[in-house]
Structure 1
Amino acid sequence: MTSRTRNHPQPTRRTLLRGAVVAALAATTAGVSAAQAAAWPTEFPLPDGFIPEGITIGRRPYAYMGSRANGAVYRTDLRTGKGRVIHKGTTGTVAVGLKLDENGLLYISGGGGGTARIVDSHTGELVTTYQLTGATGHFINDVILLGDRAWFTDSSDAVLYGIPRGRVGTVRRLRLGGDWVQTPNVYNANGVVGTPDGRGLIVVSSSPGRLYHVDLASGHATEIALIDAADVANGDGLLRIGRTLYVVQNRLNLISVFDLDTRARTATLRRTITDPRFDVPTTVARWADRLYLVNARFTSPQTPQTTFNTVAVPLYLATN
């Protein structure tokens, strides 16, 4: 495997040591050594025509990926690269973003169908479906688990939806205000993660490429000032580890790695990561010292014969 990085300040020895320690601890906690994890495959296939979008990894070395073809979920063993469909999906359904909780439940964004689904990753059974919006012209894109709710973005409306976790309840509809700019006829809110203090959300708006800090009490959005970066155009999936924020910029075939300040009001670009195997990656998940990304291949024909895969690149932590 090869990867390339753009010219940005190089990591300090302290940063490298910290990253190595974090990776080793993560691998050891999972019951494998760092050396064993290093021998695992760095690329594995998905079924032809799967049309992937989201990826999530929980406490065990399994990646779960959703299909925009029919809402199916595919699980791959990271140790071997072998996988199978665990949830067959349904014609007319899509799986965009997805997150796995500690109980093995998958929370899945339903795209243009306006839904949030919960699937049992152990049995593959559909647990429940929330109809977040009944109107056309919406796109439920990504999801993050924070506290007692799963929060979903809508790329076509300035609204976040919070559904209860582990119980049946009402959907919370949070209207975005403050600095938020809703641009017509393009993807707006896309990837989402929790803030380092766990009290708010960070949302990327794909066009024109901005990051926002969202207050969960009011929906007030504060634009995060980018340092050493003009924008995060084509921003898609987000991943946060401590104060390191990874922004996948899909059609640019790169990951921008930012160092957040303690209040998540500024983000300093530390590095960009790219790889020859990237083919419009959309979302990212972490296991041990690797980042795993699905190639959505938006610029290729999306047919039943189109091939798709997932690739891994080394983890880089931006914070000292």
Structure 2
Amino acid sequence: MGRWFGIIMGALLVAILAWSGWWHVGSTAQQDAVEGWLAERRAEGWQAEAEVSVAGYPNRFDMTAEGLRLSDPEAGWAWAAPTFRTYMLSYQPHRVIAEWPGKHRISVPGETVEIEARQLRASARFVPGTRLELTQGILEMHDLEMVSGLGWKAGIANGQLSLRASEEERGRENAYDGVLDIEGLLPPDAWRAALGERLARDLPERVEEAKIVATAVFRRPLDRLAVEAGSLRPETVWLRPSVVTWGPLSIAASGRLEVDEAGVPEGTIDLKVSNWKRVLEAAVAAGAVPGDLAGALKAGLQLMSNLTSDGKGLEAPLRFAGGNVFLGPIPLGEAPRF
């Protein structure tokens, strides 16, 4: 009995030592990979600094980056975070959970925004390998607050962004399905002010629902190299039935756009708008529609509304053509660039 006990204990000790060795090798490799990536960015002219450590023995690789500073002078953005963490099982390193605790600072030319949340957490699955090609990802936000250096504030009570490699666009590479679902969006005060006093008074404090469902085909896979190069422009965007509801205002949309190399969209988005007269009033007050066009636009939309509904709702195509955007036959101006 004693001999067998010794054999079992010896085998157990060997297994523990082997697993400990594997964990040490894996944790060291992860830390070296993160620090190596930061060094590569610095060599390209970025600011890329952080104190990196890995814990989680025996079953996880828990990476913590303290005092993270990332900025790309060429692209003009910067990200500063007190702490950034990732978690992965040591036997499934292609599945990652990430957390952003504390107050983060994101800067773009002319503006800096501080972001803090009760929970800001993501999970992702990648194709095994160093490129980190995304196959599925979910970002969750709870009680998120944004404060801009320009004086505005905004927030989200609950939100989720999910992304996965698409099964719909068969035969086309680099297609991804995405859903953005937001509840309790607190818009900046400037949004309400831009809507005009009468309309702003009738709207609740928060946008009740904003749900955007889309499939996008990109020019390259969503991976580490695409992020580093800043080449995330889509070539096709298929907007599934999506809706935004804010008190008496509601907009539903669906359609498809093709985007050229310069980011100019071509295609049609079908809109369904409730209380469209109030939406037009808000657009004029916000300056999105020139005041001298408001009368003609209202008459044209009234005709379209009478043809498609009871006169209160509106169904109309939003067309993108020749670098411009049209609501039905009515020109609205230059199309936004992707």
Bin of the TM-score, shorter chain as denominator length: under 0.3
Larger radius of gyration: 2
Could you say which structure has the higher helix fraction?
A: 2
Which of structures 1 and 2 has the larger relative contact order (alpha carbons within 8 angstroms, sep 6+)? 1
TM-score, structure 2 normalization: 0.26
